[in-house]
Amino acid sequence: MGKNITIIGLGQMGSALALIAAKAGNKVTAVGTPQDKEIIDSCIVNAGRHPRIEEVFPQNVSFAYSDGWRQACEGADYVIGAISSFGVDWFLEEILSVMDTSVPIVSAAKGLVGLDDGSLISYPEYWERALEAKGIKRDIYAIGGPGTAQEIRRGEHTHVAVCGRDADIMKMIKSSLETDTFHISLTHDVHGLESAVAIKNAYALGVSMVIGYSSKNDPDPEHTHCNCQAAAYYQAAKEMVTYLKEEGACQESILIGLGDLYVTVTGARTRKLGILLGEGKSLEEATKILSGMTLESVVIIERLAKAVKTKVAKGQLRKEDFPMLLFVDKVLTQGQVSQLPWKDFTYSEV
């Protein structure tokens, strides 16, 4: 029997999850954020047609504007927050701080928040702490993993994970969302999983810079430049594993993060930004070209680089273990791409 699921945020991922939830036989209510008014207008007037995606929402998906979220959440078995990094505090203050705590919340946002001591926490952890400071006790769940919204919408096989505390709630989420192509694992490793799927954006940008740099300097379409991409991917994976192990992430969370790195390098918006930077565009120029895209990778690079530098200063990590991250951070803060520090990617066991 299907569930009543409310999804707040109807961008790319929110739309993908709404379609998956509808396909799985649930009654879905899609609520726009304040920035989604045009999208909700179109979906209501044009019988479920989103102005920015090809697929049309089926009849078991209804729509509501942001100011109608309370009514939209009445009777919901759980609510999915499919917002971007830039809506984290809006979601906290306008939704989480006033929503009935008996309704489970699932975050579909990928990102980390920096604390004063230089450490990073996931959005679920950030929200739980902020709510606790208000005297509100709430467990927040999350869904994350290697899946581009477009391919999820098209029904291509996708494997993600749901994380949280209560096993029964996670099983309920899994059973209601899983389809013959959308596969879900379960884990209690909230910090590890959410850290893995967030920091991959920083490293995907570095690998994508190599693609742009190589293509610009050798535009022959017969040359695929696989060697340098593999070398950059190796270093990105190594740095991710080093950081995530120090954070206490479990092996499965780390592996899902590496899968997410692959997806992001091969087809997500971070790839487009990295290629432009690799071709010699400044961050300002690339951002203008990609106007309309949410460039969350820039935010996570800044936060991750700061966290790593803080841990290096405390003796918890070694600076020489993060040449790619520090290179990408330098590119964003100081200027255009030059050759990556390739020699720093090599190692010796002799």
Please name the residue ranges forming H helices in 61-166: 69-73, 88-90, 123-133, 149-154
pLDDT at 337: 66
pLDDT at 334: 83
**Range(s) within the chain of domains with CATH label 3.40.50.720:** 4-188
Neighbours of 70 (CB within 10 A): 13
Alpha-carbon span 61 to 37, nearest angstrom: 17
Alpha-carbon span 243 to 246, nearest angstrom: 5
**Are the CB atoms for 268 and 259 separated by under 8 Å?**
no
pLDDT band at 290 (very low <50, low <70, confident <90, very high): confident
Quick: pLDDT tens for 64-93.
Answer: 999 999 999 999 999 999 998 889 999 999
Whether the predicted model's global pTM rises above the 0.85 cut = yes
pLDDT at 268: 72
Q: What is the mean pLDDT of residues 279-292?
A: 85
The domain 4-188: what is its CATH number? 3.40.50.720
Query: Quick one: fold of 192-345?
Result: N-(1-d-carboxylethyl)-l-norvaline Dehydrogenase; domain 2 (1.10.1040)
Q: What is the mean pLDDT of residues 313-330?
A: 95
Q: Give the CA dihedral 63, 194, 137, 167, nearest 10 degrees.
A: 90
Quick: pLDDT tens for 59-70.
Answer: 999 999 999 999
pLDDT at 215: 85
319-328 burial, b at 16+ Cβ within 10 Å, e below that, comes to eebbbbbbbb
Quick: pLDDT tens for 12-31.
Answer: 999 999 999 999 999 999 99
**Range(s) within the chain of domains with CATH label 1.10.1040.10:** 192-345
